[in-house]
Amino acid sequence: MKNNHGWGMNEMIVFCCILIGFLLLVVILVNSLYSDLSKTEKKIEEEQGFSYKEVESHLKDAAKKYYRDNKGEELEYINAEDLLNLNYISKEQLTPSKENDYCTGYVTITDEVVFRSYITCDNYETEGF
């Protein structure tokens, strides 16, 4: 056979093995990076207390309890301060961080009995508040 100084089967197998090795290394490093980022995000959330979305969820849950207890009333919205005064929600549940970024807001109730919560805080406001 004539050799035209091209790649042979042995060289091609070695090259593919090296390429696969580098690819595996990159996958492992990227996975490690994203794993560290998610751990950092969780740690930050734990240090801060509730997230703003959790505060919105607490407010919505309190409004649902109030609505169930007061079915005879025609309600379009429920104020967070009223829920707080009636002990359906605690002040801690309206506080998203340890820096005491206290939130206030309201929950709207549509004819289809769909609850949507809106909050406003020093550093955050629900879209559409």
- Give the span between the Cα atoms of 114 and 3, in whole angstroms: 76
Residue 116: inside a domain, yes or no?
yes
CA angle, residues 112, 116, 122, in degrees to nearest 5: 165
Full-prediction pTM beyond 0.75? no
The pLDDT value recorded for residue 25 is 95
Residue 91: inside a domain, yes or no?
yes
Q: Are residues 78 and 36 in the same domain?
A: no
Q: Tell me the percentage of the chain whose pLDDT exceeds 70.
A: 84
The pLDDT value recorded for residue 13 is 94
pLDDT in tens, 14-26: 999 999 999 999 9
DSSP state of 34: H
Q: What's the mean per-residue pLDDT of the chain?
A: 82
Q: Are 58 and 50 in contact (CB under 8 A)?
A: yes
Given pLDDT bands bounded at 50, 70 and 90, which one contains residue 46? low
pLDDT in tens, 76-104: 888 999 998 999 998 888 887 755 677 88
Residue 14: inside a domain, yes or no?
yes
Residue 37: inside a domain, yes or no?
yes
Q: Are residues 16 and 34 in the same domain?
A: yes
Domain ranges, residue 25: 8-48
Please tell me the total count of domains within the chain. 2
Q: Are residues 99 and 64 in the same domain?
A: yes
Q: Are residues 13 and 40 in the same domain?
A: yes
